[in-house]
Structure 1
Amino acid sequence: MAAAAKHLTPLTLELGGKNPCYVDDDCDPQTVANRVVFFRYFNAGQTCVAPDYVLCSRETQERLLPAMQSAITQFYGEDPKASPDLGRIVGEKQFRRLQGLLRCGRVAIGGQSDETERYIAPTVLVDVQETEPVMQEEIFGPILPLVTVRGLDEAVDFITRREKPLALYTFSNNSQVVKRVMAATSSGGFCSNDGFMHLTLETLPFGGVGASGMGSYHGKFSFDTFSHHRACLLRGPGLEKIYAIRYPPYSPSKLRLLLLAMRTRSCSCTLL
């Protein structure tokens, strides 16, 4: 910011920190597992908007763990290391950092690693303490801690007392729970009942007068400058068979279906 200000260069600052994912008791554990596993381990977890930790009750955790193991096996096979759809860690320094995080809590799923390939298995940690390193920094890798809470109020408190996240996820069949989390928290973007957040960059505006400086105000521009445009993707928990086209293992037939779905459609009409 200081370097850009010398030249009046516009810039966008992206929020960092850890992206929370609250899973309500009222949900289908396999649907949640499919969607969280898909995006947590996409690109070996090296995406800035991936869910960084899961908050849920002890009972929901017990239902989620076998569902997540099932999703990992379905997506990457019995031996994820051999899967062509699972990436590797970008560099040796990042690999060693992630290896250190595997010592936090207790490994419930995965935990294997191979330094020669910079491979870390899709991993789920449980019994994680808030003070441990895995909860103090953005993970940016295929490791997902599960943190138990007693309910929605404790989850909201956990989220709001930490650094504002770039993305925030909530899974629930109860729309009131989704609305409560969305209203009680602040984040760059918010997503319900899915693990894939598309638009989550928060622009931090700096005001100027007219065309000077790094922003402008007067009229509508004042409103825009001092408003937080928050991207919210509100998706229902159904249609899992349709969404499953996104999941690995990938195949030519899935690619054809995706390309067909993304094809631009146009129509012509005559006005009388």
Structure 2
Amino acid sequence: MAPEDEVFDTQAARTLVNQLRGTFSTCKTKSYEWRISQLKNLLKLANDHEQDIIDSSYLTSPNLHSKHMSPRSFLCFRSCLADLLDKVKTSITTFPSSAEVFPEPLGVVLVISAWNYPFLLSLDPVIGAIAAGNAVVLKPSEISPATSSLLAKLVGEYMDSSAVKVVEGAVPETSALLEQKWDKIFYTGNGKVGRIVLAAAAKHLTPVALELGGKCPVFVDSNTNLKVTTRRIIAGKWGLNNGQACVSADHIITTKDFAPKLIDALKVELEKFYGNDPLKSEDLSCIVSSNHFARLEKLLDDDKISGKIVHGGQRDQNHLKISPTILLDAPEDSLIMNEEIFGPLLPIVTVDSLEDSFNMVNSKEKPLAAYLFTNDKKLKEEFVRNVSAGGLLINDIALHLANPYLPFGGVGESGMGAYHGKFSFDTFTHKKAVLYRSFAGDASARYPPYTPAKLRLLRALLSGNIIGIIRALLGW
């Protein structure tokens, strides 16, 4: 459903949601067969049109890398669907009985995706929503219009159009969608829009999953493999869309004594990867738009960081490229130290003690990810125990999100809720409690009149006191 075909306003959004509710009410999306067929179709979509997907990403931003849906996601969800019911224990209070947790789809859900990995961040949550048995509306980012258009076309061709829809457009279309009552909203993006989504959802008491961002810190200990550390930092900063990723390294924290060695090592590896003129490197992604380029220039032109650039800083506005840039000890009140960078600029903050800097990070808004490079076992343990973030990774950057058996999500300002693998299934599912009882074992103690003996038995039952139950039954 594209905006150029017809005006997508509040009435159109209401009609769309009602249509999907009609489909959901038939219960067809709840069947195992429907879910598996739709997941297979999504996998086929990705396999059949891999080059189209790559081309659409390139049209949005040349050299802006894109990731694709993995068959592992499909296999993980098939495993979820193979055993839908979880049998659980019962208590003596409900004896005789049996119980189970029945996962049921929430209903009609809205997925609003981001531009930096436009295909992955669109379909990954949609896979979870379908696996859970929901009807879905996907709203791709208007900043990646080529991918948005391709998704609308391919989803219409491969998926059940009565239950899975794509709505293209920008702010007006998103606003019209947010005015509707949904059973879940899943949003990937920034905190500013996240607040708008949350406020709109609150009007209908709609549950929300927010995948946001934050200033992801990288702690680098002197007790580390310096060459591997620098290569992985580069891969996790400039190799990830030139820093345009929510889990990208935002800044480094290291000791004053070790910082010069780290900077020198970064310079050596950066030249190996991107050459003497990184602006001409085909392996370095460009900035997604002129607006984002201007935003990054504003960070670089801040008077408070004058003289702090120790490497890089070159810009090519015509081709929307900024070279890998390292800054040393930018003031805490500078723009670059207070805004999520989301680009190729990497400040290095020096401290006396790495352990003491954990509290410095915890005193600020919680990031989506935090990283530590060290060989020190004790420091690793303190990092895991004391640093609060959506996820942690030791001795690498960003790879934790590639493990479908780990939840991926934020905490505090970096988001709420989690997905990937089974956690995507869970985020679009209501875990319904079910208790089965027969007509046998109908104890008179639960009915009036409530004699002292009955009250003793009820207290014992509620406390699980077996001896008390026996004594009450025997009248002792």
TM-score of the superposed pair, with normalisation by structure 2: 0.42
Q: CA deviation at 1:8?
A: 5.2
Pairwise CA RMSD of aligned residues? 2.2
Question: AA paired with 1:204?
Answer: M
Match of 1:52 in 2: 250
Match of 2:377 in 1: 175
Counterpart CA distance in 1 for 2:384 and 2:432 is: 28
Secondary structure of the 1:165 match is: coil
Secondary structure of the 1:13 match is: strand
Would you say 1:133 and 2:335 are equivalent positions? yes
User: Is contact 1:189-1:197 (8 Å) kept?
Assistant: no
Counterpart CA distance in 1 for 2:199 and 2:430 is: 16
Counterpart CA distance in 1 for 2:269 and 2:287 is: 21
Instruction: Spell out the pairing of 1:144-183 with structure 2 (5 A cutoff).
Output: 144-183=346-385
Higher-helix-fraction structure: 2
User: Is contact 1:110-1:124 (8 Å) kept?
Assistant: yes
Secondary structure of the 2:208 match is: coil
Q: CA deviation at 1:7?
A: 4.5
Secondary structure of the 1:138 match is: coil
Which of 105, 114, 137 is the aligned partner of 2:316?
A: 114
Match of 2:262 in 1: 64
Question: AA paired with 2:367?
Answer: P
Q: CA deviation at 1:102?
A: 1.8
Secondary structure of the 1:72 match is: helix
Match of 1:201 in 2: 409
Counterpart CA distance in 2 for 1:26 and 1:217 is: 49
Counterpart CA distance in 1 for 2:319 and 2:416 is: 39
Aligned length: 212
Would you say 1:100 and 2:298 are equivalent positions? yes
Q: CA deviation at 1:216?
A: 5.9
Q: CA deviation at 1:218?
A: 6.8
Match of 1:231 in 2: none
Would you say 1:35 and 2:232 are equivalent positions? yes
User: Is contact 2:236-2:248 (8 Å) kept?
Assistant: yes
Q: CA deviation at 1:100?
A: 1.9
Secondary structure of the 2:367 match is: coil
**CA distances 1:149-206 after superposition (whole Å, capped 9, x unpaired):** 111232112111010000000000112111101101111000000022442313736x
Counterpart CA distance in 2 for 1:89 and 1:51 is: 16
Counterpart CA distance in 1 for 2:212 and 2:374 is: 25
User: Is contact 2:210-2:416 (8 Å) kept?
Assistant: yes
Identity %: 38
Gaps of 5+ in 1: 206-213, 220-272
Counterpart CA distance in 2 for 1:108 and 1:153 is: 25
Counterpart CA distance in 2 for 1:128 and 1:215 is: 47
The 1:178/1:82 distance shift into structure 2, 3 A limit, reads same
Match of 1:191 in 2: 393
**CA distances 1:79-133 after superposition (whole Å, capped 9, x unpaired):** 1111111111111111111112224251111100011111100010012111110
Match of 1:14 in 2: 211
Q: CA deviation at 1:50?
A: 0.5
TM-score of the superposed pair, with normalisation by structure 1: 0.72
Counterpart CA distance in 1 for 2:269 and 2:206 is: 45
**Which has the larger Rg?**
2
Match of 1:76 in 2: 274
User: Is contact 2:230-2:262 (8 Å) kept?
Assistant: yes
